Structure 1
Amino acid sequence: MSNDPLLQPYQLKHLTLKNRIMITSHEPAYPEDGMPKERYRAYHVERAKAGVALTMTAGSASVARDSPPVFNNILAWKDEVVGYMKQMVDECHDHGAAVMIQLTHLGRRTRWDKADWLPVVAPSHEREASHRAFPKRIEDWDITRIIEDYADAAERMQSAGVDGIELEAYGHLLEQFWSPLTNDLDAPYGGSLENRLRFTMEVLQAIRDRCGEKFIVGVRYTGDQDMAGGMGKDEGLQVSHMLKNSGLVDFLNIVKGHIDTDPGLTDLIPIQGMRNAPHLDFAGEIRAATNFPTFHAAKIPDVATARHAIASGKLDMVGMTRAHMADPHLVRKIIEGREDDIRPCVGANYCLDRIYQGGMALCLHNPATGRELEVPQTITPADTKKRVTIVGAGPAGMEAARVAAERGHTVTVFEAADQPGGQIRLTALQERRREMTSIIAWRFDQCTKRGVQFHFNTFADMDTVLETNPDEVIISTGGLPHTEVLEAGNELVCSAWDILSGDVKPGANVLVFDDAGDHAGLQAADVISETGAKVEIVTPDRSFAPEVMAMNLVPYMRNLQKRDTTFTVTWRLMAVAKEGNQLRATLGSDYGGVTRERIVDQVVVNHGTRPLDDVYFDLKPLSSNLGEVDYDALSTGAPQTVTRNPEGTFRLFRIGDAVSARNTHAAIYDALRIGKDL
């Protein structure tokens, strides 16, 4: 038996968990019609196959019709959920993984105009900032029916064979009763801490009455809301003891903070550039004080930190949830002594941010996550070995090289720069986003292990490519900034890339025209404002940086709002002209014939990129497919079989920003979909 603390079994009541690593409850928004169907099942089974001890589903499954999810969650109040859950549970059990599910009533953390348009309920009329609904103050009959809803949902899950359930408290209805900020009820459900916990205890008792003493039940809650007037650390510790002493709970799952605002959510679930494991010691304090089974997850992305959490006795089970989105085979690689092969979570939070935008959770640099039905998490060797030539070593090119090498092909990569990385190199120059370099570093390491030949400082043209006598050619040359968007004065502006690279020094009074709305515009503004410059960010959109999603926006705002920064929405930069040694910027509006002017000393334009595609078009007439991609095959995971030029000696594909300006995930996804069948 291994002496690795992470690989020791853990006994939770009657349940033996085979190691100390878990995936905490989260909702990747993969359900269909509120049910965990094939996509949902494939996602959890993939991780079960690789050795995780416990996978928690849902984040959270709704127990009641008047708790409509604001994104695509499991509906635990429907009887039909039992069959779908049972199939997933049985498959995970076949691989030795335990399965639990998190249940909740959202209370005010939803909207009245979702699903059946029922009133939002809470123990006060106080609105949650994030979801904006003004709740109805809960009545006695609401309490009675919701307790019954919890018990019904728990019974359904028990029928499905889950190993246990977890009640979500923080931010949801249970904690809304706990916190003085959200509970202004009179006794017996308001006032003293004991009264504020009464509803939770009645829910737990109803579940016990329905499901019995042997059924495993836990609570995920904050031990400290960390907000003025809220439930502080002292009350949180009292809650911890009360839950333990109730005899109704089998484990505690600890978080710290509040989630009613984007900044609060981001502090509770930290992202890129924020400290790793910031609440681990806090969770350890609660475990030490209660001597009770304690789980925890919050930016524990690496094995060393997870191992410390267990070895130090701070936790009984350590959650590595986003880490498992990046690499579902994390546990297997630990067991096999291949920790250096683990694809690292870079904290980009593309997973969480996407669900709040109405999409499904995706990992920025593992496009197979959530798509296990269409594309593989493990690349299989090809029957026929080929020569694959790749031009460009940004994220698209590096993924293409990795996948082709894992297929067993002979791979050659040409890169004009002196190292791989492409646009990610610019992003990672800022300290807060340096974790992004791991996207490239991991792929470079995987390629090096498989013998990929890299030629840096090489601007590959058609002849360079043809000299490699390729069977497959992939063009991943990316793009260059497009700034020629003005009626006049295009020559007087610089690009966001110019600022990020350091090729152009920031001015003292700067207008940043952001017509792409992605990270580059805000990151350039951040870099400029850090020098003490005055910055105005202008966008024609009705909100700024719409491509930078909620939690990723938080660090930018914390920097920019401390500085001399102004945000101007619904205005478009029309022209720039010389005004002595200054610049006169003319703004217009898409809404009507009005203009404004600004006098500044620098104008920065962020308008995406245009493809750097000359070598692609030079090679196109010589290729067997004439560069054509079968989109039906690409979309469904089938191989590419297009032949348009039988005389062609190689197939040609163009991926990433060499096609059009998109993002890192799109570039890597292109490469995986094309490369997996080469």
Structure 2
Amino acid sequence: MKLFEPFELGPVVLKNRVAVTSHKFSYRHWENDHERSTDKYLGYVRRRMEGGVGFFGLSALPVWGVDAQHPFQLEHVGSKLRRFADVAREHGCATFVQLHNAGVQGNSSLPGVNYDESVPSDGAGLVAFSAAPSTSGTEVAHEMSPDEIEAIIEGYGRLAELAVASGIDGVELHAGHGYLLQQSFTPWRNQRTDEWGPSTRFLRAVTARVRAGIGPKGVLGVRIATKDFRPPEAGGLTEQRLLEIALELADTGMVDYFNPTHGSQASDYGRVVGTYRRPLGEFLPSAARLRQELDGKAAVLGVGRVTTVQAAEDALQRGDCDFVGLTRAHIADPDILKKSKRGEADSVRLCVSANQGCIDRLGAGGDVYCFHNPDVGREYRRNDPQPVASPRSVVVVGAGPAGLKAAEIAARRGNDVVVLEASSQAGGRLGSITNVTSAHELVASTAWLEAELARMGVQVRLNVHVDEEVLASAGVDVVVLATGSIAPPPSFSTDGSVAVHSPELALKKLVGTPKKTLVVHDSLGTEEAMVTYEQLAASGHQVIITTPLPTISQSTGFTHRTDLLDRLKSWGCTLLERTDLVSATDGRVRAQHMLTGEIIELGPVAAVVLAQSRLPETSLLDAARRHSTEVLVVGDAYSPRDAMMAFTHGDIVARQI
């Protein structure tokens, strides 16, 4: 495969054309003296480098201005970078670090702007080319003076020098996603009339200073937008003008590669790091055009929901790019390259673009995680499941995410495992997702576990109703109760004239049936509720969404909300926020606005679907304790949460079997 061929990237030879692109892991690992967070990040990076990737982009380093009044004070970052450079050399991986300044974007009082826990820069705020309100906060940025602009340029240079002096192979300038470099050349964010007005002057000045700092042996890349999602009349730039900017920069001869992206502000990340709703390989056509126009002046990195080795190979064969990012694919399965080389592509744990752990959790202030790979973030302190000294017989009751994961880990440790499931399919509530929307990609997470269990010879027996008699006859050492959770009765009055369903029952009974008017009452604001009303609306039903929460899907991540409202609008859904249900009687539903007290009559309604908190299903617990030496409770049966935590809990508990 072309993907596994060596590739000359400027002065560095990559051992293959596979990249893990720069992405934030935590808000703390570059902080001074915060070694535990650095250890976590180093374990995460090491695990991906062990998989054989040729290019690894480290998490971005924020850039400060440097001048006589503000000396360079980031030497401590060098010692951290040297640790990553050492690991990279150990695995033959080229390592890069991204440099960025958020400019007007963000909030100067929150993490991510500075390298310590104090108020950034002794209280200094965001900086910009023109005073403007932040798109992701409430403050107005400070308009930089010419001297402050020069200081920022020097800050880029000093940080780049530190990186290569620490053993890093090169740096990538982030000139997309609405950061300062992109702000400098877009009229939307730069209304100056002096020499620093909207042009490529600042971008070229930063590029020249960084190239001087890293020298001819360092690699210089630029992440740049090929679409900014903003029309010219609103201060945006056309695709042609963005292409011209890249070509102008390439003509300087200082840039080794471009990393094309889309967007011009923080909220665009919801489209840039797309969920399963976004097209696969969405940005590759733009990359192909850029590569054609560059005509060999610089390499092009292809990104944008490339999830498999074959998709990456196809992009190379089409000529879309010179090397390819498989970033989230490596989060889900760091051995994706090894497995593919061995001809075991069907054993790769696929990225399902759930975004819950890798992007949205980070946006809420947590470290990177993964929807169905519980090792992520724990690599620094855990190993592969270790073989047991004395194998035991284990029965797992329930084949949802927690049960399947527990069975997989217990079997990898050498135990004799069988899984018993009451329904006709595995997967738990995830298994109820149909293919009427692309949310069906999520089902691949449990399908992978089913396939792994089959490869290990573990039986998953369906349509088995487990009771005390079954447990008594099983005669096993360990019972793992992964029996999930049950929906509590509705809190509103009902006379039975309107059916009341849980989300999983609604998807099984209503998707594919003739059009009905349905009320989906969402008291959670989570992914499960969101998937439910999307599936029902996409299958043709008239869906009325009520929620007592201030906004629709309040607890889903921002990458999901980006696309959600437009989709619901296209399906004709009705949204009633801050609204609770009062009754479902006489074929109609009565709701009440929680602030005004207004009663809203809805109907006729065929069914109410309740996305609500659930109760653990532990009715077998006492019987299990009577008929086995050890009983472990996992997933929702232990504590009803979401699928990501069910996978995690099943993994953690099974390591003690």
Residue number in structure 2 paired with 1:658:
637
- Report the TM-score, using the length of structure 1 for normalisation: 0.87
Q: Give secondary structure in 2 for the equivalent of 1:598.
A: strand
Instruction: Say whether 1:366 aligns with 2:373.
Output: yes
1:273-312 alignment to 2 at 5 Å?
273-290=277-294, 291=296, 292-312=298-318
Q: Matched residues in 2 for 1:157 and 1:387: separation?
A: 53
Q: Matched residues in 2 for 1:532 and 1:427: separation?
A: 16
Moved more, 168-177 or 241-250: 241-250
Residue number in structure 2 paired with 1:612:
617
Q: Matched residues in 1 for 2:560 and 2:73: separation?
A: 33
Q: Cα RMSD between the aligned structures?
A: 2.5
| Contact 1:284 1:315 survives alignment (8 Å) | yes
Q: How far 1:18 moved relative to its partner? A: 0.8
| Contact 1:124 1:182 survives alignment (8 Å) | yes
Residue number in structure 1 paired with 2:45:
44
| Contact 1:428 1:435 survives alignment (8 Å) | no
1:69-88 alignment to 2 at 5 Å?
78-88=74-84
Instruction: Say whether 1:220 aligns with 2:216.
Output: no
Q: Matched residues in 2 for 1:651 and 1:532: separation?
A: 48
Instruction: Say whether 1:93 aligns with 2:89.
Output: yes
Q: Matched residues in 2 for 1:77 and 1:669: separation?
A: 40
The verdict on how the C-alpha distance between 1:411 and 1:576 changes in structure 2, with shifts beyond 3 A counting, is same
Q: Matched residues in 2 for 1:28 and 1:490: separation?
A: 50
1:616-635 alignment to 2 at 5 Å?
616-623=621-628
Residue number in structure 2 paired with 1:432:
438
1:200-279 alignment to 2 at 5 Å?
200-229=203-232, 230-255=236-261, 257-260=262-265, 262=267, 264-279=268-283
The verdict on how the C-alpha distance between 1:651 and 1:268 changes in structure 2, with shifts beyond 3 A counting, is same
Residue number in structure 1 paired with 2:479:
473
Residue number in structure 1 paired with 2:337:
331
Residue number in structure 2 paired with 1:103:
99
Match of 1:462 among 452, 455, 468: 468
Q: Matched residues in 1 for 2:386 and 2:533: separation?
A: 44
| Contact 2:309 2:337 survives alignment (8 Å) | no
| Contact 1:532 1:564 survives alignment (8 Å) | no
| Contact 1:364 1:664 survives alignment (8 Å) | yes
| Contact 1:479 1:658 survives alignment (8 Å) | yes
Moved more, 435-444 or 30-39: 30-39
| Contact 1:21 1:52 survives alignment (8 Å) | yes
Q: How far 1:523 moved relative to its partner? A: 3.1
| Contact 2:271 2:562 survives alignment (8 Å) | no
The verdict on how the C-alpha distance between 1:473 and 1:167 changes in structure 2, with shifts beyond 3 A counting, is same
1:390-405 alignment to 2 at 5 Å?
390-405=396-411
| Contact 2:332 2:373 survives alignment (8 Å) | yes
Instruction: Say whether 1:568 aligns with 2:576.
Output: yes
Which whole-Å deviations, capped at 9, do the CAs of 1:83-110 have from their partners, x for residues lacking one? 1111122022112111110010110121
Q: Matched residues in 2 for 1:533 and 1:393: separation?
A: 30
| Contact 2:44 2:379 survives alignment (8 Å) | yes
Q: Give secondary structure in 2 for the equivalent of 1:39.
A: helix
| Contact 2:224 2:246 survives alignment (8 Å) | no
Q: How far 1:30 moved relative to its partner? A: 6.0
Residue number in structure 1 paired with 2:559:
551
Residue number in structure 2 paired with 1:156:
162
Q: Matched residues in 1 for 2:589 and 2:443: separation?
A: 38
The letter for the 1-side match of 2:324 is: V
Residue number in structure 2 paired with 1:632:
none
Instruction: Say whether 1:29 aligns with 2:32.
Output: no
Residue number in structure 1 paired with 2:58:
57
The letter for the 2-side match of 1:20 is: R
Residue number in structure 2 paired with 1:525:
533
Residue number in structure 2 paired with 1:144:
150
Q: How far 1:197 moved relative to its partner? A: 0.9
Structure number with the bigger relative contact order (C-alpha 8 A, sep ≥ 6) is 2
Q: Matched residues in 2 for 1:475 and 1:555: separation?
A: 37
Q: Matched residues in 1 for 2:49 and 2:536: separation?
A: 46
| Contact 1:481 1:609 survives alignment (8 Å) | yes
Residue number in structure 2 paired with 1:12:
9
The verdict on how the C-alpha distance between 1:317 and 1:560 changes in structure 2, with shifts beyond 3 A counting, is same
Q: Matched residues in 1 for 2:264 and 2:200: separation?
A: 20
The letter for the 1-side match of 2:21 is: T
Q: How far 1:617 moved relative to its partner? A: 3.0
| Contact 2:105 2:135 survives alignment (8 Å) | no
Which whole-Å deviations, capped at 9, do the CAs of 1:198-221 have from their partners, x for residues lacking one? 101111222233332322211111
Residue number in structure 2 paired with 1:645:
none
Q: Give secondary structure in 2 for the equivalent of 1:467.
A: helix
Residue number in structure 2 paired with 1:341:
347
Q: How far 1:139 moved relative to its partner? A: 2.1
The verdict on how the C-alpha distance between 1:220 and 1:367 changes in structure 2, with shifts beyond 3 A counting, is same
Instruction: Say whether 1:174 aligns with 2:181.
Output: yes
The letter for the 2-side match of 1:271 is: T
Residue number in structure 1 paired with 2:115:
none
Match of 1:135 among 141, 164, 179: 141
| Contact 1:49 1:95 survives alignment (8 Å) | yes
Q: Matched residues in 1 for 2:94 and 2:649: separation?
A: 34
Which whole-Å deviations, capped at 9, do the CAs of 1:319-375 have from their partners, x for residues lacking one? 100000000111222233322221100111121111111222211000111111344
Q: Matched residues in 1 for 2:453 and 2:635: separation?
A: 19
The verdict on how the C-alpha distance between 1:481 and 1:42 changes in structure 2, with shifts beyond 3 A counting, is same
The verdict on how the C-alpha distance between 1:211 and 1:586 changes in structure 2, with shifts beyond 3 A counting, is closer
Q: How far 1:454 moved relative to its partner? A: 1.9
The verdict on how the C-alpha distance between 1:525 and 1:442 changes in structure 2, with shifts beyond 3 A counting, is closer
Match of 1:453 among 450, 459, 481: 459
Moved more, 606-615 or 562-571: 562-571
The letter for the 1-side match of 2:616 is: P
Q: How far 1:673 moved relative to its partner? A: 0.7
Residue number in structure 1 paired with 2:128:
122
Q: How far 1:11 moved relative to its partner? A: 1.6
Residue number in structure 2 paired with 1:636:
none
- Report the TM-score, using the length of structure 2 for normalisation: 0.90
| Contact 1:396 1:668 survives alignment (8 Å) | yes
The letter for the 2-side match of 1:82 is: G
Q: How far 1:540 moved relative to its partner? A: 2.4
| Contact 1:390 1:473 survives alignment (8 Å) | yes
Match of 2:385 among 379, 390, 412: 379
Q: How far 1:584 moved relative to its partner? A: 4.5
Q: Matched residues in 1 for 2:362 and 2:514: separation?
A: 35
Q: Matched residues in 1 for 2:516 and 2:344: separation?
A: 50
Match of 2:507 among 489, 500, 513: 500
| Contact 1:478 1:657 survives alignment (8 Å) | yes
The verdict on how the C-alpha distance between 1:261 and 1:154 changes in structure 2, with shifts beyond 3 A counting, is closer
Where do 5+ consecutive residues of structure 2 fail to align? 67-71, 111-118
The letter for the 1-side match of 2:224 is: Y
The letter for the 2-side match of 1:109 is: Q
The verdict on how the C-alpha distance between 1:385 and 1:316 changes in structure 2, with shifts beyond 3 A counting, is same
Q: How many residues matched?
A: 627
Instruction: Say whether 1:583 aligns with 2:588.
Output: yes
The verdict on how the C-alpha distance between 1:121 and 1:489 changes in structure 2, with shifts beyond 3 A counting, is farther
